């Protein structure tokens, strides 16, 4: 089994934990909120600060120039989101910024690493819960020290499905999102849930608490780490149209198995989103 | 001055904690699922076992007290709140979550005298969070005082709600219509833990600004209602009038302003009351 990126993996876990501690501390003080693409797309100084800490720390450890970085806040400030074959870190410093602002208990640091555009490992630190989810390709998925596995439910009527409303409030998109959710609820499924963070939602699929999580509108940094965790826990990733999963497409279905994934995909009303790697 | 109901409250906390241990143990085993009013209204042996344990332990210590328990009512007992000291029990709030090991499962014990809530205990057993509230003495989580959020601007709010277990198309339509109206105010986000008791504790903790639902039962919200009011929040009916714990409708919020703004968007309906006489 390949141990090539073990050092990077272990360092990522350390960095995620340290970043989580910064987030927890920041959550004790008043949080100043700014907005990005719209009134409900929130960002704080903690998001910026934590991303700088993570990237700075990784550059120091692995040398500047040898590795590339795709970070949510760097991209939102204009850095192109370019995914090459080079070793690339894909970072969401605070996944669940809205939750963070409100003290809602799901906030995650998400760090993934890809080489030749293939995801090698992922770390999601749910820092309020103090749960470290991690997975390295070929080595299984873990929550802290316990190995985790997706649910074995094949009957859609016995499933919990996760999705989110996202931050786009444009009427046509909201209509499609709601229509999809309503159809899925009425299959019927056991329930619909959402933690407010894509990274955490994927970990909930990986540990078997939910059978599937799908969303249109997420970004590569929200899900890259979760992709490895779900796969290593025995789950699968697909595009919302049933085709191959594409990390930069901003669309994703993650599920415990193909039966559940296919059944969900039948109900999804697809809408257009601009790819993460589209030219600015 | 001695608190007349302190003994009862201490007993409730102990009973909730013991019940939580039973739930945790049961999570290690297979959870055989049965259904009640519909294919998605779930109950397990653990629900029944825990309710019996709680009621038995209370009867031993307080033989004259009365009970309203979810599973007892499901088995045919009348759901009547008199002036007598009455324990209002949901042995497992979040049974669907429990079945899936989704991380929010609560034991909810409320206590009313002269139809007024005297204390409430909600034990979120997978998080090991013991929420308690005593009338006139505040609300606490693991000993730390709770206070609702100070945010009165609805556009900076997170609202909690649930889809419930009624899959009747007209009901689902109304639920989605309300949800969409609220989301598009716009609010920061809509969340749901999958259990009414925990959703109310999230209001009391300041993590969300309001929680509303039509379709809950008195045992889901009795304890949580005191939690919210003792943390400085307000309770209201979904049409803006006084809250009625038997009506199966509730709005719990940090403030009247937020409550009224939420009420303005709710497409209300009237489920069969908890205290409706049983059909002959």
**Model pLDDT for residues A241-263, shown as the tens digit of each residue:** 999 999 999 999 999 999 999 99
Let me know how long chain B is.
Answer: 280
CATH number of A6-148, picked from 1.20.1260.10, 3.30.70.260, 3.40.50.10210, 3.30.540.10: 3.30.540.10
Whether B137 is covered by a domain: the verdict is yes
The verdict on whether residue B90 carries a ligand-binding annotation is yes
The answer to whether residue B159 sits within a structural domain is yes
A105 touches chain B (CB under 8 A): yes
B201 and B251: one domain?
Answer: yes
Is residue A41 scored above 80 in pLDDT? no
Interface check for A192 against chain B (CB to CB < 8 A): the answer is yes
Examine the domain organization and report whether B96 and B227 are in the same domain. Answer: no
For residues B203 and B233, the answer to whether their CB atoms sit within 8 Å is: yes
Residues B171 and B231 in one domain: yes
Nearest CA in chain A to B202: A104
- For residue B191, give the chain A residue with the closest CA: A194
Suggest the residue from A131, A174, A190 to mutate for an interface test with chain B (most B CBs closer than 10 A).
Answer: A190
Residue B192 belongs to domain spanning: 154-263
Is the pLDDT assigned to residue A2 strictly greater than 70? no
Q: What is the mean pLDDT of each run of 10 residues along chain B (280 residues)?
A: 88 97 88 81 86 94 94 89 96 94 95 97 96 98 97 96 92 96 95 96 97 97 98 98 97 98 97 86
- Tokens 């003792």 belong to B230
Among B20, B24, B51, B46, CA closest to B33:
B46
Q: Are residues B141 and B184 in the same domain?
A: no
Has residue B141 been placed in a domain?
A: yes
Give the C-alpha separation, A89 to A225, whole Å. 10
The Cα–Cα gap between B205 and B203 comes to 5
pLDDT at residue B147 in the model: 97
Domain A156-265 is in which class? alpha beta
- Which residues from chain B sit within 8 angstroms of residue A28, using beta carbons? none
User: Length of chain A in residues, anyone?
Assistant: 280
Q: Are residues B194 and B121 in the same domain?
A: no
For chain A, domain boundaries = 6-148, 156-265
User: What CATH code is carried by the domain that includes residue B160?
Assistant: 3.40.190.80
CA distance B219 to B195: 12
Phi, psi at residue A89, to the nearest 5°?
-90, 130
pTM for the structure as a whole: 0.94
What is the least distance, in Å, from the CA of B127 to any CA of chain A?
9
**Judging by DSSP bridges, how do beta strands B189-191 and B158-160 pair with one another?**
parallel
Domain boundary among B145, B180, B200: B145
Q: Is B93 a catalytic residue?
A: yes
From CA B228, how far away is CA B111, in angstroms rounded? 15
Task: Specify whether B87 is located in the same domain as B196.
Answer: no
The mean predicted confidence, pLDDT, of chain B is 94
Q: Is B92 annotated as a binding residue?
A: yes
Q: Are B167 and B38 in contact (CB under 8 A)?
A: yes
What is the distance between the alpha carbons of residues B221 and B199, in angstroms, rounded to a whole number? 9
Per the DSSP assignment, residues forming a β-bridge with B140 are: B132, B145
In a 3-state reduction of DSSP, which class is residue A220?
Answer: helix
Q: What does DSSP assign to residue A159?
A: -
Q: Peptide bond before A245: cis, by omega within 30 degrees of 0? A: no
- Residue B33's pLDDT is 82
Q: Which of A209, A216, A249 is nearest to A230 (CA)?
A: A209
- Which residue from A206, A176, A189 is spatially nearest to A260, judged by alpha carbons? A189
Instruction: Give Cα separations from B205 to B108, B139, B140 (angstroms).
Output: 16, 9, 9
Answer yes or no: is B272 within a domain: no
pLDDT of residue A246: 97
Complete DSSP assignment for chain B: ---TTHHHHHHHHHHHHHHHHHHHHHHTS---EEESSSTTSEEEHHHHHHHHHHHHHHHHH-TT-EEEEHHHHHTT------SS-EEEEEEEE-HHHHHHT-S--EEEEEEEETTEEEEEEEEETTTTEEEEEETTS-EEETTEE--------GGG-EEE----S---HHHHHHHHHHHHHHHTTT-SEEEB-S-HHHHHHHHHHTSSSEEEEES--HHHHHHHHHHHHHTT-EEE-TTSS---TTTTEEEEESSHHHHHHHHTT-----PPPTTSPPP-
Alpha-helical segments (H) within chain A = 6-27, 45-62, 72-76, 97-102, 171-185, 198-206, 220-232, 258-265
Answer whether residue A40 shows pLDDT above 80: no
Domain boundary among B121, B145, B169: B145
Burial, B157: exposed, middle or buried (Cβ in 10 Å; 0-12, 13-18, 19+)? buried
Among residues B116, B145, B174, which one ends one of the domains?
Answer: B145
Q: How confident is the model at residue A80 (pLDDT cuts 50, 70, 90)?
A: confident
My answer on whether B91 and B27 are in the same domain is yes
pLDDT at residue number A124: 98
Give per-residue pLDDT as tens, A95-134: 999 999 999 999 999 999 999 999 999 999 999 999 999 9
Which residues, including other chains, have CB under 8 Å from residue A4's CB and lie 6 or more apart? none
Same domain (yes/no): B184, B139: no
> How many folded domains does chain B comprise?
2
Residue A222 labelled as part of a binding site: yes
Residue B277: inside a domain: no
Rounded to whole angstroms, what are the CA distances from B230 to B16, B136, B257?
A: 20, 7, 18
- pLDDT recorded at residue B1: 56
If asked whether residues B166 and B114 sit together in one domain, one would say no
The domain that holds B51 is classified in CATH as 3.30.540.10
Structural tokens at position A11: 């360092």
- Compute CA distances B164 → B4, B31, B176, B209, whole Å: 37, 21, 11, 20
- Going by their DSSP bridges, the two strands B249-253 and A146-147 should be labelled as unpaired
Per-residue pLDDT band for A275 (boundaries 50, 70, 90) equals: very high
For residue B270, tell me if it sits in a domain.
no
* Whether the predicted interface score ipTM is above 0.90: yes
Per the domain annotation, does B275 fall within a domain?
no
Tell me, yes or no, whether B63 and B160 share the same domain: no
Q: Calculate the CA dihedral of residues B259, A175, A154, B95 and round it to 10 degrees.
A: 10
- Chain B partners within 8 Å of A157 (Cβ): 39
Same domain for B48 and B24, yes or no, is yes
Residue B279 located in a structural domain: no
For residue B192, what are its two tokens? 């749901």
Q: Are A165 and B190 within 8 A, CB to CB?
A: yes
A-chain residue closest to B97, CA distance: A209
Residue B109 annotated as catalytic:
no
Active site residue B92: yes
Give the sign of the dihedral formed by CA A202, CA A208, CA A209, CA A212.
Answer: positive
């Amino acid at each position: 089994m390949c141990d090539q990126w073990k050092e990077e993996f272990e360092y990522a876990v350390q960095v995620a934990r340290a970043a989580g501690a910064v987030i927890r501390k920041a959550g004790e003080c008043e949080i100043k909120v700014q907005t990005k693409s719209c009134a409900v797309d929130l960002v704080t100084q903690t998001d910026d600060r934590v991303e700088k800490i993570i990237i700075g720390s990784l550059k120091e450890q692995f040398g500047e120039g040898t590795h590339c970085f795709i970070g949510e806040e760097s991209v939102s400030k204009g850095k192109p989101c370019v995914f090459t074959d080079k070793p690339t870190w894909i970072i969401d410093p605070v996944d669940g910024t809205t939750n963070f602002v409100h003290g809602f208990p799901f906030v995650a640091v998400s760090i993934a690493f890809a080489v030749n555009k293939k995801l090698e490992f992922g770390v999601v630190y749910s820092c309020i819960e103090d749960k470290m989810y991690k997975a390295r390709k070929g080595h299984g998925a873990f929550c802290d020290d316990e190995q985790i596995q997706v649910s074995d439910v094949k009957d859609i009527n016995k499933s919990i499905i996760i999705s989110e409303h996202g931050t786009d409030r444009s009427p046509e998109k909201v209509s499609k999102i709601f229509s999809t959710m309503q159809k899925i609820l009425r299959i019927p499924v056991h329930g619909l849930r959402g933690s407010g963070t894509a990274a955490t939602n994927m970990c909930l699929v990986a540990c078997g608490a939910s059978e599937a999580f799908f969303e249109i509108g997420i970004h590569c940094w929200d899900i890259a780490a979760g992709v490895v965790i779900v796969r290593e826990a025995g789950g699968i990733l697909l595009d919302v149209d049933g085709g191959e999963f594409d990390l930069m497409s901003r669309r994703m279905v993650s599920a415990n198995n193909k039966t559940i994934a296919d059944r969900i995909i039948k109900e999804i009303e697809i809408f257009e989103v601009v790819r993460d790697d589209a030219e600015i | 001055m001695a608190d007349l109901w302190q003994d009862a409250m201490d007993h409730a906390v102990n009973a909730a904690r013991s019940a939580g241990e039973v739930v945790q143990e049961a999570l290690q085993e297979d959870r055989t699922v049965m259904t009640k009013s519909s294919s998605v209204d779930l109950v397990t042996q653990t629900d029944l076992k825990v309710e019996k344990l709680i009621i038995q332990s209370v009867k031993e210590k307080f033989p004259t007290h009365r009970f309203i328990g979810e599973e007892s009512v499901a088995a045919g007992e009348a759901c009547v709140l008199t002036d007598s000291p009455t324990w209002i029990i949901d042995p497992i709030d979040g049974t669907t979550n429990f079945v899936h090991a989704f991380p929010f499962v609560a034991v909810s014990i409320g206590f009313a005298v002269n139809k007024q809530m005297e204390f409430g205990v909600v034990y979120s057993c997978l998080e090991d969070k013991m929420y308690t509230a005593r009338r006139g003495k505040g609300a606490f989580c693991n000993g730390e005082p709770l206070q609702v959020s100070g945010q009165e601007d609805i556009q900076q709010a997170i609202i909690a709600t649930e889809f419930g277990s009624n899959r009747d198309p007209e009901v689902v339509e109304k639920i989605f219509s309300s949800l969409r109206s609220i989301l598009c105010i716009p609010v920061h986000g809509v969340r749901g833990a999958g259990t009414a008791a925990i959703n109310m504790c999230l209001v009391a903790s300041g993590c969300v600004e309001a929680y509303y639902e039509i379709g809950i039962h008195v045992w889901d919200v009795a304890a949580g209602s005191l939690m919210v009011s003792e943390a400085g929040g307000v309770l209201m009916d979904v049409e803006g009038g006084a809250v009625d714990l038997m009506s199966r409708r509730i709005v719990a919020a940090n403030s009247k302003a937020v409550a009224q703004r939420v009420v303005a968007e709710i497409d209300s309906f009237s489920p069969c009351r908890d205290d409706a006489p049983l059909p002959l």
